[in-house]
A and B are shown apart, each in its own frame.
Chain A
Amino acid sequence: MRVVLITGVIAVAVAALDAAALLVGWWWVTVLVAAVAVYRFAGKRVLLAVLAGTVVAWGASMAAQAGSQLGAVADLVAAMALNGRGLGWVVIVVSLVYALLLALAGSWVGGAARRLRRTEGVAEQEETLEAQHV
């Protein structure tokens, strides 16, 4: 239960931080937040939480900006980029996949840094989800 709760908290925190940064166009915060989260908390569930939080942040920000015209904006961008009508869904999917790639990049670097640190014998004081689970 606690694991689920913490996972949820991480997802919400990631979503909130990402969304706040996206308000001013700081897309790179998505990478940073993912890296810090995975560095701080180990485990597959953390990764899932980060990815979920990222998708929620990006999706909600897109919806907040475009409002009810999300589809129309996507169609228009598709028209500009692909010169095709009715391909707005491609733009939405590409945007979300791109957000996930940013988060994955950050997660990988954060996780690698964390594992490297552990290998070097630095005392790991961080709380891990696995440890808590045990």
Chain B
Amino acid sequence: MKRVSFRRLLDVLGGLLFALLVLVPSVTGLGALPALGTALNPGTGVWRLSADARTAQSGEMALPGLKNPATVSFEDNGLAHVKTSDDQDLFRVIGYLHARFRLVQMDLTRRQANGTLSEVIGAATLDVDKFQRDLGLRRAAERDWVALKDDNPAKATLQSYSDGVNAAMHELRSANRMPTQFAVLGYEPAEWSPVDSLAVQRLVGQKISFDSQAPLFSYAEKAMGQEAFKAWFPDVPENKQHPYDKGPFKKLPLTPLPQRSFPDPGSGSAKASAAGQTRPEGPLALGAGSELAPLLERLGELPNSGMGTMGHSNSWVVSGSRTESGKPILSADPHLPHSLPSIWYQLEGHSPGYHFSGVTTPGLPVPLLGKTDDFSWGLTASQRPTTLYYLEKTEQGRPDEFYSKGSWQPMAKLHEKIAVRGQSDVDHTIKLSSHGPVMEVEGLTAAVWWAGTLPNDNLNSILKMLRARNVQEFRDSLSNWVTPALNFSYADRHGDIAMFNAGVAPQVDGHPPTLPLPGDGTAEITGSIPFEALPSSVNPPEGYIVSANQREVTGDYPYQYSTSYNWVLHGWRDGEIVDRITSAGKLSFAETAAMQSDWHDNNARQLVPLLLDALTGEQLSGSEQQVVDMLRSWDFNATPESLAPAFFDSFKNRVSWVTFEPWWKHYGVKQNPGEYLLPKGPDAGAWAQETLRGTVLGWIQHDPDNKYFSLPDGTKRTTTQVLREAFHQSVKRTVEKFGADLNGWRYDKYQRILFPSLLGISALDVGPMPWGGNPRTINTAVGTRDDDAGNPLSNLATAGPTWRLNVDWGTGEANSIFPAGQSENPMSPWYANGVPVWMRGQFWPVLEGDAVKGTAEWRLRP
């Protein structure tokens, strides 16, 4: 045998080393790079994007588990119509559809719920994961799945749905057609389970109902003292309210809350792989300069952007006595952060036991808003406290104990490992007192009691609701609703209209649940307002019911309820809706639908006339006189063409600033760590500012001698002086900002709307585009983003009506629209096709049965 030369050896070793250098990143990825072979190869990698984006093609396909053949028809706008001859098949097909069109969104959503985002994103989401694990959505979901009895229809529904999702995943995987985003991110999703759906259900509730108002406003309450605090932040907002339940009220005994203990016995400690996710293989690290680092960083902001907390909504029902058709009309538009894809996937579902049209959330098998053959329903978030904060008494020498009811008690501890992409697992310990997980929120360490993790059987409630035939059955279906606290609007073919508040409402003896509570056992929850005593209204004599997040009841409601500060929506939208309904003659379907695009500002409608009165006799400059003339001719409509909002945006804030700023300085009110309790400047918005806007308006209208118009040093000021000062300041500031020529004040020059991509990629966003409205208009436009300095971007709307629904039970007309599309694939024609329609205030008809003109049909066989 010949001796191998050193040179030849080097040759072989060099070749192998080079191959290794190329193959390792190809198989495992490197740093933030995904596995390059999987990602870049033309057959199954990113280059499939356009092929996968093609709209659904007609064809026959197998869906394992189906009992009977089923069909899915697609309209040309992407709306889907599912027809099955078995109820469980219906939910199986819905799961299949969701996975085919929204798999990336579904996986990211369950990861957010479960606290496993860091596993695929990296350290950027570690704090979010810790927060979610503390809160315990996954633990609650696991517990409730174990507790579901076999004869509970929800159990079979969840299993069928999961089976459908998994069938789609298997199909996509075996055909090498998993969504390209997974190739870019470098992982594949694991099987879907019913527990995932239950966790996603709680995440939806978290977005709507989890709040931090109690610790936030405790900064003001602590500094001001109770009397002043109550004056500024009363239980019932000072401005005009439109409660839909005006009493008389009954004080019924409290009902017990669903039982929960910490830690939940059924849950066990969630592990890093709790969600059954596939961890990216290989040595991943978020190295500097890694190409994907920007994407991962943006995904790290995902919970604060596309999936943040913001739950407003409008819904109104008008009885036949007020409509042209002589039968009820229902309108509903839930307000949430805009995102592409949307939180909603719209479909019609038809099986022997169900027939509905409405919007589902990918991850959940049932519609959350919509219509059946017998009734239509909408939802709005209810303004009452369901997140309570307990200040546990602890001592340095007893780090794992809390003092309650006269003795030291051990905190329960859960030890979890959080998988983090690019680094080793992170150990995380969750501490739980008898009230809940101990967390830091708004700079306050407290045990958080949140209704969202109580045991619930909400899915069963919805299944019952979908089968309701009349208002009584609808109401009965909600009697066991636990969370989130919602108003369910209702209108039916029989002519009935109704609104029901549902969900637990914890009561605490002797302490306001809207502020942090002592954890020593003196402020325990004694029960919940019974369902029978929660706000409701059925066929009221005035012929309409409106819910727009306003306080649902009057001040004499005999239970602890919402306050002006534990939520920050003060009745501007409901004021406009009520005005529109009551000032119209007989409402037509088209008029009702058009109301959803209304931009009249109710705050301006009430405040501007008071200002103009106050300016009588005042010496005005040329610019100021121009503004007065402009305001006199303004119809309070904040359209993109209008000029007055440029001034009013400043004025509404300055009125509160001029009134209260000397006082909160006097009281020494501190900012919360995020510095959004109080405005940072005279034109800035803030959480307290939202409440104070209503307070100062109410005082000007009804209590002009209120002591807070004067200064803390005793200097007397009248409301007229306050309004004049705010006016002069606002004109000066607006001229400085937009120039002296009023034509430069057009609202659409600076007011924008943006539909952000869920992945946080600006190139996949739609917008920003010129827009109108503001957070107080029916067609609400809310900013949820901050600028680089952390200040809220007030003129960039990123949240608002995420779906609009109108149903006229007289004419049989129904329409809807959402500002997004059915597909999450950015190259699909169904990615954002609803946006322009929504922006024009137009709709897609809600078609059902034979009226559907499908452009493609899937024939699914077992």
Contacts and interface: CB of A to CB of B under 8 A. Distances in A.
Interface stretch (B195-203, B287-295, B319-327, B444-452): B287-295
A85 B765 CA distance: 12
A85 B295 contact: no
A61 interface: yes
B15 interface: yes
Contacts of B763: 75-76, 78-80, 83-85
Interface string B27-41: 000000000111011
A27 B41 CA distance: 6
Nearest to A57: B42
Nearest to A35: B19
A94 B40 contact: yes
B47 A66 contact: yes
Given A105-B23, A112-B11, A119-B2, A73 B40 contact: no
B775 to A, nearest CB: 29
Contacts of B14: 108, 112
B41 A121 contact: no
A28 to B, nearest CB: 6
B827 A73 contact: yes
A106 interface: yes
Residue among B22, B176, B762, B764 having the largest count of chain A Cβ atoms under 10 Å: B22
A115 interface: yes
Given A109-B19, A116-B4, A61 B43 contact: yes
Name the interface size band of chain A: 35 or more
B298 interface: yes
B827 A72 contact: yes
B43 A25 contact: yes
Interface string B12-27: 1011101101110010
Interface string A94-127: 1100110110111011011101100111000000
A43 interface: no
A61 B184 CA distance: 19
B48 interface: yes
A73 B46 contact: yes
Contacts of B21: 105
Contacts of A98: 36, 40
Nearest to A29: B41
Contacts of A109: 12, 15-16, 18-19
A41 interface: no
Give me the 8 closest cross-chain CB pairs, A-B, nearest first.
A79-B763, A25-B44, A61-B42, A27-B41, A108-B15, A112-B15, A69-B50, A105-B19
Interface of B: 1-2, 4-5, 8, 11-12, 14-16, 18-19, 21-23, 26, 36-38, 40-51, 176, 180-181, 184, 291-292, 294-295, 298, 759, 761-764, 826-827
20 contacts: A21-B43, A25-B41, A25-B44, A25-B45, A25-B176, A26-B41, A27-B41, A65-B43, A69-B827, A72-B50, A76-B764, A77-B49, A102-B22, A105-B19, A109-B18, A111-B11, A112-B12, A119-B4, A119-B8, A121-B1
Interface of A: 21-28, 31, 58, 61-62, 64-67, 69-70, 72-73, 75-85, 91, 94-95, 98-99, 101-102, 104-106, 108-109, 111-113, 115-116, 119-121
Given A31-B22, A113-B12, 13 more contacts: A27-B37, A27-B40, A65-B47, A72-B827, A73-B49, A77-B180, A81-B295, A82-B294, A83-B298, A91-B46, A102-B22, A104-B18, A108-B18
